[in-house]
Amino acid sequence: MGNSMGTALSNTAAPAVSAPAVRVSGVGKEFDDTVAVDCVDLDIAHGEFFSLLGPSGSGKTTLLRMIAGFELPSSGTIELNGVDVTTLPPFERDVNTVFQDYALFPHMTVLENVAYGLRVKGVGRSDRRRLATDALASVRLDKFGERKPSQLSGGQRQRVALARALVNRPSVLLLDEPLGALDLKLREEMQFELKSLQREVGITFVFVTHDQSEALTLSDRIAVFNQGRIEQVGTAGEIYERPNSEFVAGFVGTSNLISGAAAEAVLGRTGTFLIRPEKLTILAEASDGPQADGVVTDVLYVGWENRIRIRLDAGTELLVAQPNREGALSGVDRRGERVTVAWDERQLVELSAGGLATSSTTTNTTTTTTTPA
């Protein structure tokens, strides 16, 4: 990605103030009898790529819309760079928003779309054209300025939407599931480009997604939403390796959750514990350390790895993920085979009973996260 937008937006560096780029204090939002956001507190630092992650209906998009000014909070305050903007309309806030559906004007050219916000602000024609051309160059579309949006691919239209938002030089860019309409391969490509662009321009990005792998890939920090509240805030590594509730453990990644009688039988401990499938090992021969015997009940080949489900003699199931180093047929004949599963005690994570979705089951549960509709 070119450097022209980095140059064009060089004056968008974080201001020298102690206040965070975004501060949300006790913010709640109710729609009739439904609590969409429930007393959320959150600080987002200058220059962060910050993701709001959660399933549909968890409150993440509603919070983004309140930061943008499209919805007013029922309670609490919102500050941008230390300024209270709780009741200000969107056009008086130093933010821009990129939507999943791009929201481009179909009758305008690409260059006119990007320059539109500058025109509204009264920027002169020559400056508008120069800044809009620079913005398009930064997303590698400077040769497409005279085309109409209908003549572009989905990925190209998304780049135009990004250029149009960034050309206004906001201090905070809000992104509402901007990659959701793209196919998987293009979506993965755009993730790299989006992160590279954010690093280049240095603007605070607040990114809404329900895709946990997307949040882990892009984010400096993540807030995991559940039922209108934030379950956990942390880096990608903290959220994945040390989730603080069963909900976070199950939603972010694939988890083996062991609790109740199963925890006592398999681990010799009481409580609820997480261990990720890739942290487990199927032993070629017995060894020292914590381990358990069982029978392979199923094997799933997913290309880069094999996922092996094992019913332990203690009566619970574990999912083991093994890198596929031996080709497509590795592991397919293992159903019914007796095996020994081993783990490192340091990889066990004891989960808090204080989360919103703590299970009361007394047997092991294997949680596989899928992308919500």
User: Considering only CA atoms, which of 177, 163, 199 is closest in space to residue 13?
Assistant: 199
Q: Are the C-beta atoms of residues 233 and 42 closer than 8 Å to each other?
A: yes
Domain end residue (candidates: 192, 219, 241): 241
Does residue 218 or residue 99 have the better pLDDT?
218
Give a yes or no: residue 373 inside a domain: no
Whether residue 130 sits in one domain with residue 28: yes
Verify that 159 and 109 share a domain, yes or no.
yes
Looking at the structure, do residues 157 and 171 belong to the same domain, yes or no? yes
| CATH at 54 | 3.40.50.300
Do 122 and 191 share a structural domain? yes
Q: What percent of the chain has pLDDT over 70?
A: 88
Above 70 in pLDDT, residue 344? Answer: yes
Q: Between β-strands 172-176 and 75-80, what pairing exists: parallel, antiparallel or unpaired?
A: unpaired
Q: At residue 135, does pLDDT exceed 80?
A: yes
* pLDDT of residue 370 exceeding 50: no
User: In this model, does residue 125 exceed pLDDT 70?
Assistant: yes
Residue 138 confidence (pLDDT): 82
Give the pLDDT of residue 285: 78
Judge if 167 and 42 occupy the same domain. Answer: yes
Number of structural domains found in the chain: 2
| 279 has pLDDT over 90 | yes
**Amino acid 101: pLDDT:** 78
User: Residue 329: which pLDDT band, with cuts at 50, 70 and 90?
Assistant: low
Summarised one tens digit per residue, pLDDT across range 13-60 is: 444 458 999 999 999 999 998 999 999 999 999 999 999 999 999 999
Same domain for 104 and 170, yes or no, is yes
Q: What is the pLDDT of residue 361?
A: 33
- Please identify, among 241, 272, 288, the residue that sits at the C-terminal boundary of a domain: 241
pLDDT for 358 beyond 90: no
E strands within 269-343?
272-275, 281-282, 291-301, 305-312, 317-323, 338-342
| pLDDT of amino acid 178 | 84
Asked, for residue 25, whether it belongs to a domain, the answer is yes
Name the nearest CA neighbour of 113 among 179, 60, 159, 69. Answer: 159
Confidence at residue 355, expressed as pLDDT on a 0 to 100 scale: 47
pLDDT one-digit tens code per residue, 160-199? 988 998 888 899 999 998 887 778 888 888 888 888 889 8
pLDDT at 45: 96
Q: List the domain range (segments joined by +) for residue 209.
A: 4-241
Banded model confidence at residue 226, pLDDT cuts 50, 70, 90: very high
Mean pLDDT of the chain: 85
Which alpha helices (H) appear in the chain, and where do they start and end?
Answer: 4-8, 60-68, 110-120, 125-138, 154-166, 184-201, 212-218, 236-241, 246-251, 260-262
pLDDT at 330: 53
Q: Do 255 and 171 have their domain in common?
A: no
For residue 318, which phi and psi values (nearest 5 degrees)? -130, 145
pLDDT, position 153: 86
pLDDT exceeds 80 at position 108? yes
Per the domain annotation, does 372 fall within a domain?
A: no
| pLDDT at residue 332 in the model | 55
- Same domain (yes/no): 204, 291: no
Q: Is the pLDDT score of 280 beyond 70?
A: yes
Whether residue 88 has pLDDT greater than 90: yes
What pLDDT does 319 receive? Answer: 96
Residues 202 and 333 both lie in one domain: no
Do 50 and 136 share a domain, yes or no? yes
Q: Are residues 165 and 231 in the same domain?
A: yes
Q: Write out the two tokens for 335.
A: 């159903």
The whole-number pLDDT of residue 357 equals 40
Residue that is last in its domain, among 191, 225, 241: 241
